[in-house]
Amino acid sequence: MHIGRFRAAVGLVTGLVLAATAPFAAASDSGAAAVASGRDRATHRVEYFSSPTGHPRSVEVPVRAPGRIGRGAGPVAGDGEVTPVVENGPTEEKLDVVVIGDGYTAGELDRFRTDAREKWDEITGVQPYSTYRNLFNVWAVDAVSRDSGVSGDPDQETVRDTALHSYFWCDGLERLLCVDTDAVERYAAHAPEADLVVVVANSAKYGGAGYNDVVSPLGYEGIATVAGGNEKSGQVAVHETGHSLGKLADEYVYDEYGEYTGPEPGEVNTSTHTADELAELRVKWFRWLGEPTPDGGVTGTFEGGGYYPRGLYRPSENSIMRTLGREFNSVGREAMIAGFYRHATVLAGSPATDRRLTRRDTVRLRVPRLAGTHRQPAVRWYLDGKEVRRLRGERTVAVRRVIPPWDRRLHRLTAVAHDPTRAVRDPALRAELTDVLTWRAGR
Protein backbone atom coordinates (compact mmCIF):
# COMPACT_ATOMS: atom_id res chain seq x y z
CA MET A 1 0.00 0.00 0.00
CA HIS A 2 1.09 3.62 0.08
CA ILE A 3 4.25 4.29 2.06
CA GLY A 4 4.11 7.98 2.92
CA ARG A 5 1.93 10.19 5.09
CA PHE A 6 1.69 13.94 5.44
CA ARG A 7 3.17 14.82 8.83
CA ALA A 8 3.24 18.64 9.06
CA ALA A 9 2.52 21.72 6.97
CA VAL A 10 6.22 22.36 6.54
CA GLY A 11 6.42 19.13 4.62
CA LEU A 12 4.61 20.81 1.73
CA VAL A 13 7.56 23.10 1.22
CA THR A 14 10.50 20.86 2.09
CA GLY A 15 9.44 17.61 0.48
CA LEU A 16 6.51 15.32 -0.26
CA VAL A 17 6.21 11.57 -0.45
CA LEU A 18 4.92 9.69 -3.48
CA ALA A 19 2.26 7.02 -3.22
CA ALA A 20 3.26 3.49 -4.14
CA THR A 21 1.26 0.44 -5.14
CA ALA A 22 1.52 -3.13 -3.98
CA PRO A 23 1.50 -6.09 -6.38
CA PHE A 24 -1.09 -8.78 -6.40
CA ALA A 25 -0.18 -11.86 -4.36
CA ALA A 26 1.52 -14.69 -6.20
CA ALA A 27 -0.44 -17.77 -5.29
CA SER A 28 2.12 -20.47 -5.89
CA ASP A 29 5.19 -18.99 -4.17
CA SER A 30 3.41 -17.48 -1.19
CA GLY A 31 1.29 -20.57 -0.64
CA ALA A 32 4.37 -22.79 -0.47
CA ALA A 33 6.06 -20.38 1.93
CA ALA A 34 2.97 -20.40 4.13
CA VAL A 35 2.97 -24.17 4.44
CA ALA A 36 6.61 -24.11 5.48
CA SER A 37 6.04 -21.35 8.04
CA GLY A 38 2.96 -23.12 9.44
CA ARG A 39 4.95 -26.28 10.12
CA ASP A 40 7.48 -24.31 12.16
CA ARG A 41 4.98 -24.00 14.99
CA ALA A 42 2.69 -26.50 16.68
CA THR A 43 -0.06 -24.22 18.04
CA HIS A 44 -1.80 -20.88 17.67
CA ARG A 45 -3.19 -18.82 20.53
CA VAL A 46 -6.78 -17.98 19.65
CA GLU A 47 -9.74 -16.21 21.19
CA TYR A 48 -13.14 -17.85 21.33
CA PHE A 49 -16.60 -16.64 22.32
CA SER A 50 -18.99 -18.89 24.19
CA SER A 51 -22.05 -16.70 23.50
CA PRO A 52 -23.00 -13.69 21.33
CA THR A 53 -22.87 -11.39 24.36
CA GLY A 54 -20.15 -13.04 26.43
CA HIS A 55 -16.56 -12.29 27.37
CA PRO A 56 -13.95 -14.05 25.21
CA ARG A 57 -11.33 -16.53 26.40
CA SER A 58 -7.92 -17.44 25.01
CA VAL A 59 -6.56 -20.95 24.43
CA GLU A 60 -3.77 -22.71 22.52
CA VAL A 61 -4.97 -24.83 19.58
CA PRO A 62 -3.19 -26.96 16.94
CA VAL A 63 -2.06 -25.32 13.71
CA ARG A 64 -3.62 -28.16 11.74
CA ALA A 65 -6.85 -30.00 12.32
CA PRO A 66 -6.81 -33.41 14.04
CA GLY A 67 -6.34 -36.39 11.72
CA ARG A 68 -9.98 -37.43 11.99
CA ILE A 69 -11.08 -34.23 10.23
CA GLY A 70 -11.47 -34.62 6.46
CA ARG A 71 -8.75 -34.26 3.84
CA GLY A 72 -10.27 -31.35 1.88
CA ALA A 73 -11.62 -31.26 -1.64
CA GLY A 74 -8.47 -31.45 -3.71
CA PRO A 75 -8.40 -30.03 -7.26
CA VAL A 76 -11.96 -29.58 -8.55
CA ALA A 77 -13.58 -27.19 -11.01
CA GLY A 78 -14.15 -23.76 -9.55
CA ASP A 79 -11.91 -24.28 -6.53
CA GLY A 80 -10.00 -21.09 -5.75
CA GLU A 81 -12.08 -18.81 -8.00
CA VAL A 82 -12.43 -15.23 -6.75
CA THR A 83 -15.61 -13.13 -6.89
CA PRO A 84 -15.82 -9.46 -5.86
CA VAL A 85 -18.44 -8.97 -3.15
CA VAL A 86 -17.72 -5.27 -2.70
CA GLU A 87 -15.42 -3.43 -5.08
CA ASN A 88 -14.78 0.22 -4.31
CA GLY A 89 -11.57 0.78 -6.23
CA PRO A 90 -8.07 -0.48 -7.07
CA THR A 91 -6.65 -2.83 -4.49
CA GLU A 92 -3.66 -0.58 -3.79
CA GLU A 93 -6.07 2.17 -2.69
CA LYS A 94 -8.39 0.07 -0.52
CA LEU A 95 -8.32 -2.22 2.49
CA ASP A 96 -8.87 -5.68 1.00
CA VAL A 97 -10.89 -8.21 2.98
CA VAL A 98 -10.71 -11.81 1.76
CA VAL A 99 -13.62 -14.08 2.72
CA ILE A 100 -13.08 -17.82 2.26
CA GLY A 101 -15.89 -20.33 2.62
CA ASP A 102 -15.60 -23.77 4.17
CA GLY A 103 -18.06 -26.63 4.11
CA TYR A 104 -19.69 -25.46 0.88
CA THR A 105 -19.92 -28.00 -1.94
CA ALA A 106 -19.69 -27.00 -5.60
CA GLY A 107 -23.48 -26.71 -5.72
CA GLU A 108 -23.56 -24.40 -2.68
CA LEU A 109 -21.14 -21.70 -3.82
CA ASP A 110 -23.93 -19.21 -4.53
CA ARG A 111 -25.05 -19.59 -0.94
CA PHE A 112 -21.48 -19.04 0.25
CA ARG A 113 -21.33 -15.73 -1.62
CA THR A 114 -24.66 -14.72 -0.07
CA ASP A 115 -23.34 -15.64 3.38
CA ALA A 116 -20.15 -13.68 2.71
CA ARG A 117 -22.14 -10.57 1.80
CA GLU A 118 -24.40 -10.92 4.84
CA LYS A 119 -21.38 -11.26 7.16
CA TRP A 120 -19.90 -8.12 5.63
CA ASP A 121 -23.22 -6.32 6.10
CA GLU A 122 -23.15 -7.37 9.76
CA ILE A 123 -19.61 -6.05 10.19
CA THR A 124 -20.39 -2.73 8.51
CA GLY A 125 -23.39 -2.31 10.80
CA VAL A 126 -20.88 -1.39 13.53
CA GLN A 127 -19.08 1.95 13.69
CA PRO A 128 -16.63 3.02 12.45
CA TYR A 129 -17.10 0.42 9.68
CA SER A 130 -20.46 1.98 8.80
CA THR A 131 -18.99 5.37 7.97
CA TYR A 132 -15.85 4.00 6.30
CA ARG A 133 -17.35 1.14 4.27
CA ASN A 134 -16.19 2.77 1.02
CA LEU A 135 -12.55 2.24 2.01
CA PHE A 136 -12.94 -1.52 1.58
CA ASN A 137 -12.91 -4.16 -1.11
CA VAL A 138 -14.29 -7.58 -0.22
CA TRP A 139 -13.30 -10.68 -2.21
CA ALA A 140 -14.99 -14.09 -1.91
CA VAL A 141 -12.71 -17.08 -2.56
CA ASP A 142 -14.43 -20.36 -3.44
CA ALA A 143 -13.10 -23.31 -1.45
CA VAL A 144 -14.98 -26.37 -2.71
CA SER A 145 -15.59 -29.05 -0.06
CA ARG A 146 -16.55 -32.68 -0.52
CA ASP A 147 -19.13 -32.49 2.27
CA SER A 148 -21.71 -29.85 3.12
CA GLY A 149 -21.36 -28.34 6.60
CA VAL A 150 -18.45 -28.52 9.02
CA SER A 151 -17.26 -30.96 11.66
CA GLY A 152 -18.70 -30.61 15.15
CA ASP A 153 -22.13 -29.50 13.91
CA PRO A 154 -24.59 -30.54 15.23
CA ASP A 155 -22.56 -32.60 17.72
CA GLN A 156 -19.02 -33.47 18.64
CA GLU A 157 -19.13 -36.80 16.80
CA THR A 158 -20.03 -35.29 13.42
CA VAL A 159 -17.10 -35.32 10.98
CA ARG A 160 -17.22 -33.70 7.54
CA ASP A 161 -14.63 -33.54 4.79
CA THR A 162 -14.05 -29.84 4.00
CA ALA A 163 -11.47 -27.73 2.20
CA LEU A 164 -10.23 -25.80 5.26
CA HIS A 165 -10.91 -28.50 7.88
CA SER A 166 -13.09 -26.18 10.01
CA TYR A 167 -14.41 -27.80 13.18
CA PHE A 168 -16.36 -26.88 16.28
CA TRP A 169 -15.41 -28.43 19.62
CA CYS A 170 -11.83 -27.40 19.00
CA ASP A 171 -9.80 -28.10 22.16
CA GLY A 172 -13.00 -29.62 23.59
CA LEU A 173 -14.84 -26.27 23.46
CA GLU A 174 -18.15 -26.40 21.63
CA ARG A 175 -18.21 -22.81 20.33
CA LEU A 176 -14.55 -22.69 19.32
CA LEU A 177 -14.45 -22.91 15.52
CA CYS A 178 -10.90 -23.78 14.46
CA VAL A 179 -9.41 -24.02 10.99
CA ASP A 180 -6.28 -25.25 9.23
CA THR A 181 -4.32 -22.00 8.87
CA ASP A 182 -2.03 -23.46 6.18
CA ALA A 183 -5.09 -24.20 4.04
CA VAL A 184 -6.41 -20.68 4.68
CA GLU A 185 -3.11 -19.25 3.44
CA ARG A 186 -3.26 -21.27 0.23
CA TYR A 187 -6.75 -20.02 -0.59
CA ALA A 188 -6.08 -16.42 0.48
CA ALA A 189 -3.23 -16.35 -2.04
CA HIS A 190 -5.79 -16.51 -4.88
CA ALA A 191 -7.25 -13.10 -3.99
CA PRO A 192 -5.76 -9.64 -4.54
CA GLU A 193 -3.57 -8.23 -1.74
CA ALA A 194 -5.21 -9.64 1.38
CA ASP A 195 -5.18 -7.29 4.39
CA LEU A 196 -7.75 -9.19 6.47
CA VAL A 197 -9.01 -12.77 6.18
CA VAL A 198 -12.41 -14.05 7.35
CA VAL A 199 -13.35 -17.74 7.11
CA VAL A 200 -17.11 -18.29 6.81
CA ALA A 201 -18.18 -21.80 7.80
CA ASN A 202 -21.31 -23.38 6.34
CA SER A 203 -23.15 -23.63 9.65
CA ALA A 204 -25.91 -21.91 11.61
CA LYS A 205 -24.29 -22.89 14.91
CA TYR A 206 -22.97 -19.93 16.90
CA GLY A 207 -19.19 -19.89 17.15
CA GLY A 208 -15.92 -18.52 15.87
CA ALA A 209 -12.32 -17.79 16.67
CA GLY A 210 -9.66 -15.14 16.28
CA TYR A 211 -6.15 -16.04 15.16
CA ASN A 212 -4.11 -12.95 15.94
CA ASP A 213 -0.63 -14.48 16.08
CA VAL A 214 -0.60 -15.60 12.43
CA VAL A 215 2.44 -14.31 10.55
CA SER A 216 1.45 -14.54 6.90
CA PRO A 217 3.82 -14.24 3.94
CA LEU A 218 0.89 -12.56 2.18
CA GLY A 219 0.92 -9.78 4.77
CA TYR A 220 -2.61 -10.06 6.16
CA GLU A 221 -3.19 -9.33 9.84
CA GLY A 222 -4.88 -12.30 11.47
CA ILE A 223 -7.76 -14.66 10.67
CA ALA A 224 -11.31 -14.62 12.04
CA THR A 225 -13.62 -17.63 11.73
CA VAL A 226 -17.40 -17.18 11.82
CA ALA A 227 -20.52 -19.24 11.14
CA GLY A 228 -22.13 -18.11 7.89
CA GLY A 229 -25.67 -19.03 8.89
CA ASN A 230 -25.62 -17.39 12.33
CA GLU A 231 -26.77 -13.78 12.41
CA LYS A 232 -24.58 -12.85 15.40
CA SER A 233 -21.28 -14.49 14.50
CA GLY A 234 -20.03 -11.45 12.57
CA GLN A 235 -19.43 -9.78 15.92
CA VAL A 236 -16.48 -12.14 16.34
CA ALA A 237 -14.85 -10.65 13.23
CA VAL A 238 -15.49 -7.10 14.46
CA HIS A 239 -13.78 -7.83 17.78
CA GLU A 240 -10.84 -9.53 16.08
CA THR A 241 -10.23 -6.61 13.76
CA GLY A 242 -9.98 -4.49 16.88
CA HIS A 243 -6.73 -6.39 17.44
CA SER A 244 -5.50 -6.60 13.84
CA LEU A 245 -6.46 -3.14 12.57
CA GLY A 246 -6.81 -1.10 15.75
CA LYS A 247 -3.92 -2.79 17.59
CA LEU A 248 -6.22 -2.76 20.62
CA ALA A 249 -5.83 -4.84 23.75
CA ASP A 250 -8.58 -7.03 25.12
CA GLU A 251 -10.49 -5.22 27.86
CA TYR A 252 -11.87 -8.33 29.58
CA VAL A 253 -10.28 -10.00 32.61
CA TYR A 254 -9.53 -13.41 34.08
CA ASP A 255 -9.74 -13.65 37.87
CA GLU A 256 -6.71 -15.93 37.96
CA TYR A 257 -4.49 -13.21 36.47
CA GLY A 258 -4.64 -11.19 39.68
CA GLU A 259 -2.84 -7.84 39.74
CA TYR A 260 -0.76 -6.36 36.94
CA THR A 261 2.70 -5.14 38.06
CA GLY A 262 4.47 -4.73 34.71
CA PRO A 263 5.39 -1.66 32.64
CA GLU A 264 2.93 0.63 30.84
CA PRO A 265 1.31 -1.43 28.01
CA GLY A 266 1.91 -0.42 24.42
CA GLU A 267 -1.78 -0.67 23.41
CA VAL A 268 -3.71 2.61 23.45
CA ASN A 269 -6.72 1.25 25.37
CA THR A 270 -5.08 -0.07 28.55
CA SER A 271 -2.98 1.81 31.08
CA THR A 272 -1.50 1.57 34.55
CA HIS A 273 -2.49 5.21 35.15
CA THR A 274 -5.63 6.58 36.81
CA ALA A 275 -7.65 9.33 35.12
CA ASP A 276 -5.86 12.06 37.10
CA GLU A 277 -2.49 10.62 36.13
CA LEU A 278 -3.46 10.37 32.45
CA ALA A 279 -4.48 14.04 32.50
CA GLU A 280 -1.35 15.13 34.33
CA LEU A 281 1.02 13.13 32.11
CA ARG A 282 -1.00 13.86 28.93
CA VAL A 283 -0.79 10.24 27.77
CA LYS A 284 -3.05 7.56 26.29
CA TRP A 285 -6.71 8.65 26.19
CA PHE A 286 -6.39 11.86 28.23
CA ARG A 287 -8.01 13.82 25.34
CA TRP A 288 -11.25 11.85 25.82
CA LEU A 289 -11.56 11.96 29.61
CA GLY A 290 -14.97 13.05 30.88
CA GLU A 291 -16.64 12.88 27.45
CA PRO A 292 -19.46 10.54 26.36
CA THR A 293 -18.30 7.36 24.66
CA PRO A 294 -20.20 5.46 21.92
CA ASP A 295 -20.46 2.28 24.00
CA GLY A 296 -22.26 4.14 26.80
CA GLY A 297 -21.29 6.24 29.78
CA VAL A 298 -18.36 8.62 30.06
CA THR A 299 -14.71 8.02 29.23
CA GLY A 300 -12.61 7.52 32.34
CA THR A 301 -10.44 4.80 33.90
CA PHE A 302 -12.23 1.56 34.78
CA GLU A 303 -10.14 -1.00 36.60
CA GLY A 304 -9.62 -4.29 34.82
CA GLY A 305 -8.25 -4.90 31.33
CA GLY A 306 -5.66 -6.80 29.35
CA TYR A 307 -6.84 -9.93 31.27
CA TYR A 308 -5.86 -8.45 34.67
CA PRO A 309 -8.70 -7.59 37.10
CA ARG A 310 -6.41 -5.23 39.03
CA GLY A 311 -3.57 -2.87 38.17
CA LEU A 312 -4.71 -2.04 34.61
CA TYR A 313 -7.41 0.39 33.49
CA ARG A 314 -9.61 0.56 30.39
CA PRO A 315 -11.33 3.67 28.93
CA SER A 316 -14.98 2.63 29.33
CA GLU A 317 -17.20 0.23 31.21
CA ASN A 318 -18.07 -2.23 28.46
CA SER A 319 -16.88 -1.87 24.86
CA ILE A 320 -16.73 -4.55 22.14
CA MET A 321 -13.15 -5.25 23.19
CA ARG A 322 -14.67 -6.55 26.43
CA THR A 323 -18.07 -7.97 25.41
CA LEU A 324 -19.49 -8.93 21.99
CA GLY A 325 -22.52 -7.00 20.79
CA ARG A 326 -21.16 -3.68 22.06
CA GLU A 327 -19.71 -0.66 20.23
CA PHE A 328 -16.08 0.41 20.14
CA ASN A 329 -15.41 3.07 22.75
CA SER A 330 -13.99 6.45 21.69
CA VAL A 331 -10.41 5.23 22.06
CA GLY A 332 -11.10 2.08 20.05
CA ARG A 333 -13.00 3.93 17.33
CA GLU A 334 -10.11 6.35 16.95
CA ALA A 335 -7.61 3.50 16.62
CA MET A 336 -9.79 1.63 14.11
CA ILE A 337 -10.07 4.62 11.76
CA ALA A 338 -6.31 5.08 11.81
CA GLY A 339 -5.99 1.34 11.13
CA PHE A 340 -8.27 1.59 8.09
CA TYR A 341 -6.06 4.29 6.63
CA ARG A 342 -2.95 2.26 7.33
CA HIS A 343 -4.07 0.11 4.39
CA ALA A 344 -6.41 2.34 2.39
CA THR A 345 -5.73 5.78 0.95
CA VAL A 346 -7.64 9.00 1.38
CA LEU A 347 -6.19 10.20 -1.92
CA ALA A 348 -5.21 8.65 -5.25
CA GLY A 349 -5.03 10.10 -8.73
CA SER A 350 -3.94 9.97 -12.33
CA PRO A 351 -1.70 10.40 -14.23
CA ALA A 352 0.96 8.55 -12.23
CA THR A 353 3.16 10.77 -10.09
CA ASP A 354 6.34 9.60 -11.84
CA ARG A 355 5.19 11.25 -15.06
CA ARG A 356 6.08 14.88 -15.83
CA LEU A 357 2.95 16.88 -16.63
CA THR A 358 2.55 19.39 -19.46
CA ARG A 359 -0.03 22.15 -19.77
CA ARG A 360 -2.12 19.80 -21.89
CA ASP A 361 -2.56 17.33 -19.01
CA THR A 362 -5.42 17.08 -16.53
CA VAL A 363 -5.06 15.62 -13.03
CA ARG A 364 -8.00 13.60 -11.71
CA LEU A 365 -8.19 12.69 -8.04
CA ARG A 366 -9.99 9.81 -6.34
CA VAL A 367 -11.16 10.53 -2.79
CA PRO A 368 -13.47 8.10 -0.93
CA ARG A 369 -16.89 9.28 0.16
CA LEU A 370 -17.69 8.67 3.80
CA ALA A 371 -21.19 7.44 4.59
CA GLY A 372 -23.67 9.26 6.81
CA THR A 373 -21.60 12.36 7.50
CA HIS A 374 -21.17 15.80 5.98
CA ARG A 375 -17.50 15.87 7.06
CA GLN A 376 -15.91 14.61 3.85
CA PRO A 377 -12.17 14.49 3.04
CA ALA A 378 -10.97 17.94 2.04
CA VAL A 379 -8.73 18.50 -1.01
CA ARG A 380 -6.19 21.30 -1.35
CA TRP A 381 -3.76 22.11 -4.16
CA TYR A 382 -0.27 23.60 -3.92
CA LEU A 383 2.18 24.93 -6.49
CA ASP A 384 5.77 24.84 -5.24
CA GLY A 385 4.51 24.65 -1.65
CA LYS A 386 2.10 27.60 -1.90
CA GLU A 387 -1.63 26.87 -1.79
CA VAL A 388 -3.72 27.66 -4.86
CA ARG A 389 -6.79 28.63 -2.85
CA ARG A 390 -9.15 28.93 -5.82
CA LEU A 391 -8.78 25.18 -6.41
CA ARG A 392 -9.87 24.09 -2.92
CA GLY A 393 -12.14 21.05 -3.04
CA GLU A 394 -11.65 20.41 -6.76
CA ARG A 395 -10.87 16.88 -7.88
CA THR A 396 -10.25 17.52 -11.58
CA VAL A 397 -7.67 20.18 -12.42
CA ALA A 398 -6.19 21.05 -15.80
CA VAL A 399 -2.51 21.97 -15.52
CA ARG A 400 -3.07 25.03 -17.73
CA ARG A 401 -5.22 26.49 -14.94
CA VAL A 402 -2.19 26.49 -12.68
CA ILE A 403 0.77 27.22 -14.97
CA PRO A 404 0.39 30.12 -17.46
CA PRO A 405 1.58 29.64 -21.08
CA TRP A 406 4.55 32.02 -20.72
CA ASP A 407 5.96 30.16 -17.71
CA ARG A 408 8.74 27.81 -18.85
CA ARG A 409 9.92 26.74 -15.42
CA LEU A 410 9.61 23.26 -13.86
CA HIS A 411 7.20 23.25 -10.91
CA ARG A 412 5.89 20.94 -8.21
CA LEU A 413 2.12 20.46 -8.33
CA THR A 414 0.81 18.91 -5.11
CA ALA A 415 -2.59 17.61 -4.03
CA VAL A 416 -3.33 16.99 -0.35
CA ALA A 417 -6.42 15.26 1.03
CA HIS A 418 -7.28 14.97 4.71
CA ASP A 419 -10.11 13.25 6.57
CA PRO A 420 -11.47 15.88 9.00
CA THR A 421 -13.27 13.43 11.30
CA ARG A 422 -13.61 14.49 14.92
CA ALA A 423 -13.33 10.87 16.01
CA VAL A 424 -9.52 10.99 15.80
CA ARG A 425 -7.74 13.39 18.15
CA ASP A 426 -4.31 11.90 18.70
CA PRO A 427 -1.88 13.77 16.38
CA ALA A 428 0.16 10.59 15.84
CA LEU A 429 -2.96 8.79 14.58
CA ARG A 430 -4.23 11.79 12.62
CA ALA A 431 -1.10 11.56 10.48
CA GLU A 432 -2.59 8.39 8.96
CA LEU A 433 -5.60 10.39 7.77
CA THR A 434 -3.69 12.56 5.28
CA ASP A 435 -2.27 11.64 1.87
CA VAL A 436 -0.11 13.68 -0.50
CA LEU A 437 0.50 13.33 -4.24
CA THR A 438 3.15 15.39 -6.08
CA TRP A 439 3.87 15.77 -9.79
CA ARG A 440 6.58 17.57 -11.71
CA ALA A 441 4.82 19.97 -14.03
CA GLY A 442 5.92 22.43 -16.68
CA ARG A 443 9.05 22.64 -18.79
| 8 A C-beta contact, residue 402 and residue 436 | no
Residues 6+ positions from 346 with CB-CB distance below 8 Å: 367, 368, 377, 417, 418, 419, 433, 434, 435
CATH topology of domain 27-244: Collagenase (Catalytic Domain) (3.40.390)
How far apart CA 110 and CA 163 sit, in angstroms, is 17
Q: How far is CA 310 from CA 139, 256, 268, 318, in A?
A: 42, 11, 18, 16
How far apart CA 220 and CA 33 sit, in angstroms, is 14
Q: How many CA atoms lie within 13 A of 96 on its CB side?
A: 29
| 8 A C-beta contact, residue 362 and residue 403 | no
- For the chain, domain boundaries: 11-19+347-442, 27-244, 255-341
pLDDT computed for residue 75 by the predictor: 61
Count other C-beta atoms under 10 Å from residue 64's C-beta: 17
Q: How far is CA 218 from CA 25, 60, 233, 312, in A?
A: 7, 23, 25, 35
pLDDT tens for the chain, 443 residues long, are 343 343 333 333 233 322 322 322 333 333 333 333 344 457 888 988 888 877 788 888 877 766 556 555 556 777 999 999 999 999 999 999 999 999 999 999 999 999 999 999 999 999 999 999 999 999 999 999 999 999 999 999 999 999 999 999 999 999 999 999 999 999 999 998 899 999 999 999 999 999 988 888 999 988 999 999 998 888 999 999 999 999 999 999 999 999 999 999 999 999 999 999 999 999 999 999 999 999 999 999 999 999 999 999 999 999 999 999 999 999 999 999 999 999 999 999 999 999 999 999 999 999 999 999 999 999 999 999 999 999 999 999 999 999 999 999 999 999 999 999 999 999 989 989 999 999 999 97
pLDDT computed for residue 73 by the predictor: 52
pLDDT computed for residue 383 by the predictor: 98
| 8 A C-beta contact, residue 144 and residue 110 | no
| 8 A C-beta contact, residue 344 and residue 136 | yes
pLDDT computed for residue 19 by the predictor: 30
CA neighbor of 191 nearest in space, from 305, 70, 80, 74 = 80
pTM comes to 0.86
Q: What is the CA radius of gyration of the chain?
A: 24
